[in-house]
Structure 1
Amino acid sequence: MYINQIHNKKFNLILYLPIPLVFLGLIVLNYITTADVNVEEMIQMMINELGTNLTFAIMVGQLAICCVILLFWVKFIHGQSIRSLTTSRKKVDWKRIFFSFTIWGVFTMVTTLIFYFLSPESFVVNFDPVKFFPFLIIALLLIPLQTSFEEYFFRGYLMQGIGVVTKSRLFPLIITSVTFGLMHIANPEVGKLGMIIMVYYIGTGFFLGIITLMDEGLELALGFHAANNLIGALLVTADWTAFQTHSILKDVSEPSAGFDVLFPVLVIFPILLFIFGRKYKWTNWKEKLTGKVYEYSPEIENINSIGNDNE
């Protein structure tokens, strides 16, 4: 099992705690310090002083650096392989990553085009080659590291660690999904749309946690998250979002939150679960999502590796 990957290493709770305590502490500190601040205006001030691309690079680059630090900590402090933090398979399945990236990237592009043609007055063409292509390079370099950090931290490091401590698969699913959502609470989208947007953030956390547990690895979550942030940042920006970019389109409509916030969680994500489940032949959902985490043994690893290589 994926969570059991940490069992065949020398798991040390003292060495495990600094990373989550520091990062989650920074989330709380950031929320407290920005509680009385207009985050949208703060981002705009940074853009006025530093420019859009540099502001974007600073904001995303922080988590990209965190990704490097986390992987270093896992590899050299814990002595755990990056492969075992990524998957229960004998090697990382890049086909899974690319399939997940492609299916969500295509969905994002198609829905964006549909919204553009249905409501052209809500968008302006923002494409400027001189500004777009430098941004494209920055995005390609930093966004995959940013999204990989969030997956490695929440669905990897926390999922495995909490699972080992609690001997449960359900507890780490709930805890990592809720904390993932709360990480976004200081985003300007929350101030603009209200707390209902947290349903989307936490719901996305549950979706990513479910596909990680069912697929016994991070590959699908890594691909989905990278497509969501990268394709989204390249296609559309708005003055009230966390990502201010030199994208192709700019949304100039007045934002509002309603069923469109709930639609992905209630409709799209279940459809994706069905697609992934059929393609990778997922079975025994209840046990994989709510069952116990047993002590590691080579026999368990061999049994659970059977079927994990389904294409």
Structure 2
Amino acid sequence: MNYIQQAYKGQRDLWMVLLTTAIVGGVFLLNFIFYLFSDPSDLDAAYDMMKNWPANFSLVVNLVPFAVLLGLLFLLVKYVHQRSILSLTTARPKVDFKRVLFSFLMVCTFTLVTFFIGYSIDSSEIIFQFNPGKFALLFLISIILFPFQIGLEEYLFRGYLMQHIGVIVKNKWFPLILTSVLFGIAHSANPEVGAIGFWKMMIFYVGTGLLLGIMTLMDDGLELALGFHLGNNLLASLLVTADWTALQTDAIFKSTADPSMSLLSEILMPVLVVYPIMLLILSKRYGWKNWAERLFGKVTEPPKEDYKIIE
């Protein structure tokens, strides 16, 4: 059974899918509605209020709800859908933590190398603000809470929704595209969207969602997406902060650059060049084949004997 077919291992009534999506994903929908219908000045006021909070307190307030929602998702999958969390995670007999680590190290290496190359070329808009005490607390908060934040986003978008939408529509390409778009919309209320531009950031977020979705379908599991997302968000918290980003932290460096991103070099280059290179690296390491079938193939109901929940 492939990754999307894991949804057949539990109850799949439509009301269950709608209930779980509403309870767990409702906060993302509310954020999007708030973004669409709020006056820009109200959004700015909300962001300014959070900037007045201590950085680590603000980070905790922003991350704790993800832990609650991830717990709710797991409970609903286990007791409403009557499925194992393993079936939501991977098609393998057990979670492959080596895959998580490899993807984590891949994105961390790329981020650190590119940052320090840029810093060595021009550091005029980067301030070194390392404070051992504040950074130690930030590090502790980050390693404890960010796994819940990225876990919720991966298990909800690339896991639960990818699987159940795929079972409903009987193909793989539609859930891949839809969950990537929903992933972008879920980040629409982030302050950098207003600072940089809605369409620029949507290209980046949706492109990142496609990358993570392709990883998941090609590898038959969430492990690579979990590692990549965790590495990306941890470094976003620990390495560089800025006044106009969603994460206001006591990071090692602070950017004083204007909130702007080049469409070509900072949006399209990662999405169209860097991401495909990363997929190529992963495909060589894990021997991915049959790309057309894995990304665009049909989702068929497996034999009844395969429905037993893997413990």
TM-score w.r.t. the length of structure 1 is: 0.92
Q: Give how far 1:17 is off.
A: 1.3
Residue in structure 2 matching 1:209, options 210, 213, 233: 213
| Equivalent position amino acid for 1:5 in 2 | Q
Aligned partner letter, 1:33: F
Deviations 1:146-186 (A, max 9, x none): 00110000000000100111111111101101000111111
Mapped to 2, the partners of 1:298 and 1:33 lie a distance apart of 44
Q: Is 1:112 matched up with 2:118?
A: no
The alpha carbon displacement at 1:9 in A equals 2.1
Report the Cα offset of residue 29 of structure 1.
2.4
Structure 2 letter corresponding to 1:227: G
Name which of 230, 240, 244 aligns with 1:236: 240
Which of 274, 277, 283 is residue 271 of structure 1 equivalent to?
277
Task: Please give the alpha-carbon distance, in whole angstroms, between the structure 2 residues aligned to 1:178 and 1:117.
Answer: 36
* CA distance in structure 1 between the aligned counterparts of 2:20 and 2:296, rounded to whole angstroms: 26
Preserved contact between residue 40 and residue 239 of structure 1 (Cα < 8 Å): no
Structure 2 counterpart SS, 1:120: coil
**Partner letter of residue 27 of structure 1?**
F
Distance across 2 between alignment mates of 1:37 and 1:23: 27
Unaligned runs of 5+ in 2: none
Cα distance change on mapping 1:52 and 1:44 into 2, 3 Å: farther
Tell me what 1:218 maps to: 222
Conserved 8 A contact 1:233-1:245: yes
Q: Could you tell me the percent identity over the aligned residues?
A: 46
Aligned residues of 2:193 and 2:201 also touching (Cα < 8 A)? yes
> How far 1:23 sits from its partner (Å)?
4.3
TM-score normalised per structure 2: 0.92
Aligned to 1:158: 161
Which one of the candidate residues 282, 300, 303 is aligned to 1:297? 303
1:67 offset after TM fit, Å? 1.1
Q: Which amino acid aligns with 2:300?
A: Y
- Change in CA separation of 1:254 and 1:98 when aligned onto 2, cut-off 3 Å: same
State the shift of 1:298 in Å.
6.6
Q: CA RMSD in A?
A: 1.6
| Counterpart-to-counterpart distance in 2, 1:253 and 1:275 | 32
Name structure 1 gaps, 5 residues minimum. Answer: 302-311
Partners of 1:62 and 1:40 lie apart in 2 by: 22
Aligned residues: 300
